[in-house]
Amino acid sequence: MSTPTQLHDLSVAQLAAKLQSREVSSVEAAQHFLARAKAHQNLGAYVHINEEVTLAQARAADAAIAAGTSGKLAGVPIGHKDLFVTKDFPTTAGSKMLTGYQSPFDATMVTRLAEAGAVTLGKLNMDEFAMGSANENSAIGKVSNPWDVSRVPGGSSGGSAAAVAARLAPATTGTDTGGSIRQPASFCGITGIKPTYGRASRYGMIAFASSLDQAGPMARTAEDCAILLSEMCGPDLDRDSTSLDRPAEDFTRSLGDKLDGLRIGIPAEFFGDGLSDDVRAAVDGALKEYEKLGARLVPISLPRTELSIPVYYIIAPAEASSNLSRFDGVKFGHRAKDYTDLVDMYKKTRAEGFGDEVKRRIMTGAYVLSHGYYDAYYLQAQKIRRMIADDFQAAFKDCDLIAGPAAPNVAWALGGKSDPLANYLADIYTLPASLAGLPGLSVPAGFGEGGMPVGLQLIGNYYGEAKLLNAAHQLQQATDHHLRQPAGIAK
Ligand code: GLN
């Protein structure tokens, strides 16, 4: 491994150590990343920056370090997906509906990371209300992939992934409902993990599909993800009724364990038609590395993989149609200017405030929940969701974790996939773990068509994050894909 020479080349672990030893101050680090964010504004990653707020936080971190009272992430600058509400920055969720919205409180994820000493650089672009796979559904603007600015960064956490890949932040937060951490991580050549459903509090994370939404870290290394995830997780029972009643864990505890004898399940359904050759080749390369590291590849089957697409695109819109009913012009965000009565105000506000994809989902969701269709669509989808979860449990009898591609292709061209169905189909490999509530990550596996990054997805059983992160860490000890930099953004 080469020795990093610039602040933005340091991992979170390396930067945190330099901050603790006071070789680098938090103010210096924050200024460095703010300057980079400004210099690479054209990527579109950041949507809200407030230097004064960031520098005030950095000064407080420096004081805490000097006083010896600081947390594990003291002074480390990070960016937050704009789905997490923040009291010091606006929150838009990528929607016109929330233009000018200012939250009176911080999301639990924001509070936890701040308590660990992290400094907020700003808020990051995303698909509107986290619905999308290319960040092209953002009302705020497009995000470019740092590896090729004519391509999408993935979505919905596209700004979070692009910022890390372009070294505009050492790490960021993302959210994953059906792949929104793993797929952009794969497209941008970084590492991102979605924990077991319920590990990360959803309090203050604007709801899309509540039974699926989870927060997680995005960074260049698995070790960094483990450090951040340890700070983010833990019960928040008073604020999120689906928060797991399990104590916070140190997810770095298994880093360094050898992989000898590890059984990696290879689902046949993840390698069938539709997987592009370049992604297959990169994924195969990573699997060979695992064999060299002592793991054994075990063929398994997840027979309902294909069904995860219709199931997800019934359940997620159903929940969204309910969650998004709160955006009606009364309590927060956009309100139409001219209206005749209350109903007219609702209608005009929602027609003006929501983008096409969000409207499509609200309508689909309302339809599948409506009288006469509920049993045929929503209930049926719930039953198959359960079977998908059962399929995983059957598979985990034969393996310790599951590996496959995170996405069927590398990042496509901006504007290249306008058909909503084509976008939905590309979610095929990330949806199953989401529906089952299992932890999953994407780790750089190599490069494909056009020199674009390819991510390997690893899925663990419930609460298996530490093992999962170590598996990704071991791959990163043996390969250097995660250390490569997109040309043009290095300086
Ligand atoms: N691409 C999926 C969707 O559009 C997943 C989004 C997400 O995980 N937030 O719903």
Q: Stretch 141-148: mean pLDDT, rounded? A: 98
Q: How far is the CA of 391 from the centre of ligand 1 (A)?
A: 22
Q: How far is the CA of 424 from the centre of ligand 1 (A)?
A: 8
Q: Stretch 347-360: mean pLDDT, rounded? A: 98
Q: Residue 78: exposed, middle, or buried by beta-carbon count in 10 A (0-12, 13-18, 19+)?
A: buried
Question: Is residue 349 scored above 50 in pLDDT?
Answer: yes
Question: Is residue 491 scored above 80 in pLDDT?
Answer: no
Question: Is residue 172 scored above 60 in pLDDT?
Answer: yes
The total number of structural domains that make up the chain: 1
Q: Which is catalytic among the residues 81, 194, 348, 417? A: 81
User: Binning pLDDT at 50, 70 and 90, where does residue 347 land?
Assistant: very high
pLDDT for the residue numbered 488: 75
Domain presence at residue 232: yes
Q: Whose CA is nearest to atom 5 of ligand 1?
A: 178
Contact 280, 408 (CB under 8 A): no
Q: Whose CA is nearest to atom 4 of ligand 1?
A: 132
pLDDT for the residue numbered 490: 60
Residue of 81, 156, 309 best suited for mutating to test ligand 1, as the one with most atoms within 8 Å of CB: 156
Tokens in use for 186? 């794969």
Question: Is residue 477 scored above 60 in pLDDT?
Answer: yes
Model pTM score: 0.97
Q: Supply the DSSP string of 129-163, one letter for each residue.
A: GG--SSSTT-SS----BTTBTTB---SSSHHHHHH
Domain presence at residue 154: yes
Q: How far is the CA of 131 from the centre of ligand 1 (A)?
A: 5
Question: Pick from 174, 142, 148, 179: which is nearest to 161 by CA?
Answer: 174
Q: How far is the CA of 177 from the centre of ligand 1 (A)?
A: 6
Q: How far is the CA of 240 from the centre of ligand 1 (A)?
A: 21
Domain presence at residue 376: no
Question: pLDDT, tens digit, for every residue of 185-198?
Answer: 999 999 999 999 99
The question of whether 133 is a catalytic residue gets the answer no
- Ligand 1 atom showing the smallest separation from residue 132 Cα: 4
Domain presence at residue 323: no
Query: Using CA atoms, how far apart are residues 291 and 283, in angstroms rounded to an integer?
Result: 13
pLDDT for the residue numbered 4: 53
Question: pLDDT, tens digit, for every residue of 206-253?
Answer: 999 999 999 999 999 999 999 999 999 999 999 999 999 999 999 999
Q: Which is catalytic among the residues 138, 156, 243, 308? A: 156
- Beta-sheet strand order (sheet of 453-460): 46-48, 119-124, 77-81, 171-176, 214-219, 191-194, 440-447, 453-460, 401-405, 263-267, 296-300
- Which DSSP helix (H) or strand (E) runs through 441? strand 440-447
Phi, psi of 29 (to 5 degrees): -65, -45
Query: Using CA atoms, how far apart are residues 87 and 106, in angstroms rounded to an integer?
Result: 5
Domain presence at residue 411: no
- Ligand 1 atom showing the smallest separation from residue 212 Cα: 8
- Ligand 1 atom showing the smallest separation from residue 357 Cα: 4
Q: Which is catalytic among the residues 26, 133, 180, 321? A: 180
Domain presence at residue 392: no
- Ligand 1 atom showing the smallest separation from residue 208 Cα: 9
The CATH number of the domain holding residue 139 is 3.90.1300.10
Q: How far is the CA of 365 from the centre of ligand 1 (A)?
A: 15
Q: Stretch 118-143: mean pLDDT, rounded? A: 98
Question: Is residue 384 scored above 70 in pLDDT?
Answer: yes
| Radius of gyration (C-alpha) of the chain in whole angstroms | 21
Residue of 364, 427, 457 best suited for mutating to test ligand 1, as the one with most atoms within 8 Å of CB: 427
User: Binning pLDDT at 50, 70 and 90, where does residue 470 land?
Assistant: very high
Residue 10: C-alpha distances to residues 13, 70, 118, 443 (Å): 8, 20, 15, 18
Residues within 6 Å of ligand 1 by CB: 130-133, 156, 176-180, 208, 316, 427
Q: Which of 97-101, 161-165, 309-313, 388-392 has the lowest mean pLDDT?
A: 97-101
Domain presence at residue 8: yes
Q: How far is the CA of 341 from the centre of ligand 1 (A)?
A: 35
Question: Is residue 358 scored above 50 in pLDDT?
Answer: yes
Q: Rounded to 5 degrees, what angle do the CA atoms 182, 185, 189 make?
A: 140
Q: Stretch 240-269: mean pLDDT, rounded? A: 97
Task: List 443's β-bridge partners, or say none.
Answer: 456
The question of whether 156 is a catalytic residue gets the answer yes
Phi, psi of 267 (to 5 degrees): -75, 125
pLDDT for the residue numbered 2: 42
Domain presence at residue 291: no
- Ligand 1 atom showing the smallest separation from residue 426 Cα: 1
Query: Using CA atoms, how far apart are residues 15 and 169, in angstroms rounded to an integer?
Result: 11
Q: Stretch 379-400: mean pLDDT, rounded? A: 98
Which residues constitute the domain of residue 140? 4-258
Average pLDDT, the chain: 97
User: Binning pLDDT at 50, 70 and 90, where does residue 1 land?
Assistant: very low
Q: Cα-Cα-Cα-Cα dihedral of 388, 463, 239, 127, to 10°?
A: -60
Q: Rounded to 5 degrees, what angle do the CA atoms 411, 435, 131 make?
A: 45
